[in-house]
Amino acid sequence: MSDLDARPVIEITGLTVAYWQEKAHLQAVRDVSLRIGQGQSYGLVGESGSGKTTLAMAIMGYLNEDGEVVSGSILLNGRDLLGMNEQEMREVWRTQVKLVPQNPLSALNPSLRIGDQLAESLDQGLSRQQQQARILELLEMVKMADPARIAASYPHQLSGGMQQRIIIALALSQNPELLVLDEPTTNLDVTTEAVVLDLFADLIRERNTAVLYVSHNLGVITNICDRIAVLYAGELVEDASVADLYQLPLHPYTQGLLDSVPRIGQNKRQIDLLPIPGQIPPLNAQLPGCVFAPRCAIATDICHSQRPPKEEPTPHRSVRCHRWPEIADGSLIISAEPKTLQPEETTEPAAETILNTVQVKSYFNVQRSLSELLRRKSPKQVKAVDGVDLQVRRGKTLGLVGESGSGKSTLARCIIGLVERTQGEVVLLEMPLAPDLSDRDLKTLSRLQMVFQNPEDALNPYRTVGQTLSRPLMRLGGYGKKEADEAAVRLLQVVKLSADYVDRLPGQLSGGEKQRVAIARAFAAQPDLLIFDESVSALDVSVQASVLNLLNELQRQQQSSYLFISHDLAVVGYLADEVAVMYLGKVVEFGPSQDIFNPPYHPYTEALLSAIPILDPAATQEHIRLEGDIPSPIDTPTGCAFHTRCHRILGEICRQTEPPWQEEADGHRIRCHISLVELQSMQAKTFSLSARPQTPKTG
C-alpha cells in the first residue's frame, strides 16, 4: 500500500487562523488543506513569517491567547479537534499527538532527573518495576548508550543531541499516531543531526507514525519526508511528493527556495547565490492577487489583480499559480542561471597574512567538589583548544568546521580576547595581541571585529539602528556626531538597507535585517579581520543566500579577511577559500576548500561529509555515523584523539601514537596514520550528486 492510500491520521480542511493585533483580526494561515496518512512523513517549508509554526500549533491546540481558528476543520482519526474540550484535548496530547520542539532544554524540567520525567509520561497504572523497565526500553530505543546512567542524570548533564533524543523518547512513550516536529535539528551539529534524522526515519518506518516536519532546511526535508507542503504568507502554494517537487517545481517560490541553497562543491569564486528578492508581506498587507506576486520575476497583470485558485496538475499534487501550465509544459523556465563569475588566476601570488595563531592553547580548570577540596585533589583541566596553528590571508576566508565541543568557538574567543589563552601567540598584522580584550587599545579593537550567531543578543533593543552604528564610528573611528550619523546611512546602503532604517529599533526588524545591521556595525571600524561565529545558521535559506552574497561583495570591495565558523559544510565550502577541520581542540585537516570535498579526507572529515543532508533526492550518499559523543576535553584519548570513534582505525598505532601531518603539493594537509594514497583508494566518493541543469530564466 502506498502512502497515498494509507489511512488518514490528520485531515486539515480549509483552515484559517488569525491573530488579534491592535484591534485588527490578521490572518496568519488562510484556507489551508492538508492530509497526512499513517506512516507518512510530511515536510512543511517556507521562510520565517510564512505561517509554518502557526499551522503546527493550531494542530496541537497550542495557539497563543490572541490566536484563534477562524474557519475550517482539523480531524484526528475522524474526530474534530476543534470541537474538543480541555479534558478531551489533554487525553489527545497524552496519548495521540506529540510535539518535538526546536529547543530540547527548554522543554525539559531542569530540576528532575531524566528517569523521573519519563516516568511522568507513562501509564500511571504500571508498577515501579514496570516503569523502570519501560524507561530503559525507551532510552535504548533512541540509541542512548548506558541508559541507566542517563536515567539518573539531569538535563544539563547531557549534550544537545542527547537532550533531543530524550524529547523523542518522551514523545514516543505512549506510541502516538502523529508527531509534530518543529525544527528539531536546527541547533544540532551535522553529525548529531544525521543520527537524530536516522532515528526519526527508523521510528517512522517501524511504528507507522504520521509525521509533520516543520523546517527551513530543505536538505533535511528532502532526506526524511515523503511529501512537501510549501507555505508562503499563510497560503499553501505547492504540495507534492519530494521527487516531483525537486524534479519540476511548479511554483516560482518553491524554485526560489531551491535556488537559494548552496550546493556541495559550489564556491563563491564560480557563482553568486540566488536569493529571492524582497521579503514576506506583513499580516496586514492587503494583496488582491497572488501573495507572491510582489517578489515574483514572472508575475503578470493577472497575478497582481486575481488570487490564483488551488489546482491539481496531476493526482495528489496541487499548486496556486496562474502560470503553472506554462511551467509544466516547459514553455516558461523559472530556474534562474546562477551568476557565473570570472575564474581567479590560478597563479595568483600568495596574499599577505592578516592573522597568525601559533600553538594557541586554552585550558581551564574544572570547579572541584567539596570532597575534592577536602582531599586537596588537583583540579582537572579542560583542554578546549590544544595547540592550534592557523593563518588567515588578506581578502580571503578561512572556514572552521567541526562538531560542538571541538573547540571552534573557544578558539574564536581566544583570538578576539573574550577567552584568555593559556599558551601560544595570536598575531594580527605582525602585531602580537594581548590575551585579554581589556588590555588591547582602540586601534587594535578597530582592526578585529566579531559577528555572533544571534543578532537578537548582539543588538541593544533600546537603541535605534542609527545609534547602534554611530557608536563604533565615534568610539573606534574618531568620527564626530554628525559625521557618524552620515556614515551610518552609508553603512546601511552597503548592507542593502535603506536610509529610513536608522530610526528603527531591533524589534521592528526581521532576523535577516538584524544580521545585516550586525554586519554593518562590524564593518563600521573598517576592520582587517572579521570573525563570524555561526552567523547564518539560523537564517532562512533565502536570507542566508543574501547575507553570503553580501559578505562576498564586501570582501571583494574592501579586501576584508574572514574567519568563518559553521557546522554547515555546504555553506563553509561555498564561502571559504581554505578550510580547517577541528576535533577535540586540534586541527586534523587543512586545505583549499575544493580539496575538502574530494578524497583523500581525514576519516573525521569523511564522517562530517557523509552526514550532510543533500538536497537532491536522486543523489547517492555513503552513510558513516559516528558512535557516541565527542570525548570529554578533560580526559582526552591517547594517540589519535579521534581513534575512539574512527571507522578506519588501524589498531594500537592509532591508540598510542599521535599521528603525523601528511601534505599534498597544493598545501592540503591531513593528520592521520593512514597514508594519503591509501585514504584515497579506500574512500569511494562520499557523496555523488546528480546534476540538475540550471537554465536561464525567461518570461
219, 615 Cβ separation under 8 angstroms: yes
In the three-class reduction of DSSP (H, G, I as helix; E, B as strand; rest coil), residue 513 is classed as: helix
Confidence of residue 370 (pLDDT cuts 50, 70, 90): low
The x, y and z cell numbers of residue 699, run together, are 518570461
| 119-129: b (≥16 Cβ within 10 Å) or e | bebbeeeeeee
- % of the chain residues with pLDDT over 90: 46
Q: Tell me the β-bridge partners of 195.
A: none
Residue 692, pLDDT > 80, answer: no
The more confident residue out of 10 and 612 is 10
pLDDT, one tens digit per residue, over 470-516 is 999 998 888 899 999 999 998 888 887 888 899 999 888 877 788 88
pLDDT, one tens digit per residue, over 638-651 is 999 999 999 999 99
Structural element, H or E, at residue 561: strand 561-565
pLDDT, one tens digit per residue, over 537-583 is 777 888 888 889 888 988 988 899 999 998 888 899 999 999 999 99
What pLDDT is stored for residue 697 in this prediction? 33
* E strand map for 444-528: 448-451
Q: What is the mean pLDDT of residues 583-603?
A: 92
- % of the chain residues with pLDDT over 70: 94
Residue 344, pLDDT > 70, answer: no
Quote the DSSP letter at residue 357: E
Strands lying side by side in the sheet with 661-663: 448-451, 529-533, 561-565, 397-401, 578-583, 586-592, 669-671, 661-663
174, 94 Cβ separation under 8 angstroms: yes
Amino acid at position 189, single letter = D
Residue 369, pLDDT > 80, answer: no
Angle between helices 481-494 and 465-475 (to 10 degrees): 120
Which CATH superfamily does the domain covering 8-98+177-328 fall into? P-loop containing nucleotide triphosphate hydrolases (3.40.50.300)
pLDDT, one tens digit per residue, over 20-31 is 877 788 999 999
Q: How many helices (H) and strands (E) does the chain have?
A: 26, 26
Every domain of the chain and the residues it spans: 8-98+177-328, 99-173, 353-462+511-581, 463-504, 598-688
What pLDDT is stored for residue 201 in this prediction? 85
Q: What is the pTM of this model?
A: 0.87
Strands lying side by side in the sheet with 210-214: 97-100, 178-182, 210-214, 41-45, 227-232, 235-241, 317-319, 311-314
Q: State the CATH architecture for 353-462+511-581.
A: 3-Layer(aba) Sandwich (3.40)
Q: How far apart are CA 32 and CA 13, in angstroms?
A: 6
643, 674 Cβ separation under 8 angstroms: no
Say yes or no: do domains 8-98+177-328 and 353-462+511-581 share a fold.
yes
Amino acid at position 628, single letter = G
Among 182, 152, 204, 273, CA closest to 36: 204
Confidence of residue 690 (pLDDT cuts 50, 70, 90): very low
What pLDDT is stored for residue 688 in this prediction? 57
Q: How far apart are CA 214 and CA 225, in angstroms?
A: 11
